[in-house]
């Protein structure tokens, strides 16, 4: 259902900034998946990896990473990006199957469930929001995490805007 791609609206080398002590970001080589079941190559050769420490969360602060978007021509109806979530644990056998990806854009808060260790496409209906020159704010995950879960990270790639239906 997505057609008439307007193009990438954020490059991996773009500026990013952190709010809070538990959030960080880095540029990493993109994860290519070809395991016989699923095959996926991200749009860009490098990704932005947004990470959050889970055991030092403050209830009075919303740690996050700001990813500025560039100029988006026209009036796009959708903003999309690919995400590959990961969890880091002290115990090899202890992990989680999913988490919530929370983010904000244009003064609105969004959340979607994402599975760990696989690429998923996030499609955000813009509903009149003009994403040009705004920040996509990735917020720290919330929930009750085992003491052994140390961090949750989101590898993000392929930001694009679409005018399709």
- Both tokens assigned to 49: 């990896």
Q: Judge whether 83 and 136 are in contact, CB under 8 Å.
A: no
Question: Would you say how long the chain is, in residues?
Answer: 165
Tens of pLDDT, residue by residue over 96-138, are: 788 999 999 999 999 999 999 999 999 999 988 888 889 999 9
- Beta-strand relationship, 98-105 and 149-162: unpaired
Confidence (pTM): 0.86
Helix (H) or strand (E) holding 60: none
**Using CA atoms, how far apart are residues 60 and 62, in angstroms rounded to an integer?**
7
Residue 160 is predicted with a pLDDT of 87
The whole-chain average pLDDT of the chain stands at 84
Average pLDDT of the residues in 6-14: 62
Residue 4 is predicted with a pLDDT of 41
Residue 9 is predicted with a pLDDT of 67
Question: For the chain, which domains are there?
Answer: 5-162 (2.60.120.260)
Average pLDDT of the residues in 28-39: 84
Residue 58 is predicted with a pLDDT of 64
**Using CA atoms, how far apart are residues 43 and 40, in angstroms rounded to an integer?**
9
Kindly tell me if the per-residue pLDDT of 70 is higher than 70: yes
């Amino acid at each position: 259902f997505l057609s008439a791609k307007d193009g990438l609206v954020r490059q991996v080398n773009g500026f990013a900034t952190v709010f809070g002590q538990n959030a960080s970001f880095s540029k990493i080589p993109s994860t290519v998946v070809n395991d016989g079941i699923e095959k996926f190559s991200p749009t860009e050769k490098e990704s932005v990896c947004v990470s959050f420490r889970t055991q030092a969360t403050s209830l009075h602060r919303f740690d996050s990473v700001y990813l500025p978007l560039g100029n988006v021509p026209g009036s796009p109806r959708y903003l999309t990006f690919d995400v590959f979530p990961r969890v880091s644990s002290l115990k090899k056998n202890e992990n989680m199957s999913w988490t919530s990806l929370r983010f904000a854009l244009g003064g609105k808060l969004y959340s979607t469930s994402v599975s760990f260790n696989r690429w998923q496409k996030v499609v955000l209906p813009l509903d009149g929001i003009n994403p040009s020159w705004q920040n996509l704010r990735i917020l720290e995950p919330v929930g009750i995490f085992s003491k052994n879960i140390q961090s949750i990270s989101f590898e993000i790639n392929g930001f694009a805007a679409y005018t399709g239906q």
